[in-house]
């Protein structure tokens, strides 16, 4: 079985249609977030298995927020 990571924007129309059939009411409850190592980015994704291929479909990205204590008196 193959494993592929693909962006939703680059997903073929055939797979987008299958995804919409699998989740007619939306897939927001099935998503999860992960951090890309070495980058300050957090991705939101969904896992789907279609036609013998495991897809990790990246839905959106956002910068990782890091709050540093900048008070010199600390």
Span 1-50, pLDDT tens digits: 899 999 999 988 988 898 889 999 988 888 999 888 888 889 999 999 98
State the pLDDT at residue 66. 67
State the pLDDT at residue 55. 92
The 3-state DSSP class for residue 20 equals: helix
Report the b/e string of 1-26 with b at 16+ CB within 10 A: eeeeeeeeeebeeebeebbeeeeeee
Task: Note if the pTM is more than 0.85.
Answer: no
> Per-residue pLDDT averaged across 41-66, rounded?
89
Binning pLDDT at 50, 70 and 90, where does residue 67 land?
low
The residue among 53, 51, 56, 33 whose CA lies nearest residue 43 is 33
């Amino acid at each position: 079985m193959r494993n592929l990571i693909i962006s939703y924007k680059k997903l073929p129309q055939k797979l987008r249609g299958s995804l919409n059939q699998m989740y007619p009411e939306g897939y927001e409850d099935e998503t999860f977030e992960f951090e890309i190592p070495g980058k300050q980015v957090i991705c939101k994704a969904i896992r789907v298995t279609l036609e013998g291929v495991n897809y990790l479909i990246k839905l959106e990205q956002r910068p990782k927020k890091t709050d540093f204590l900048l008070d010199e008196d600390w």
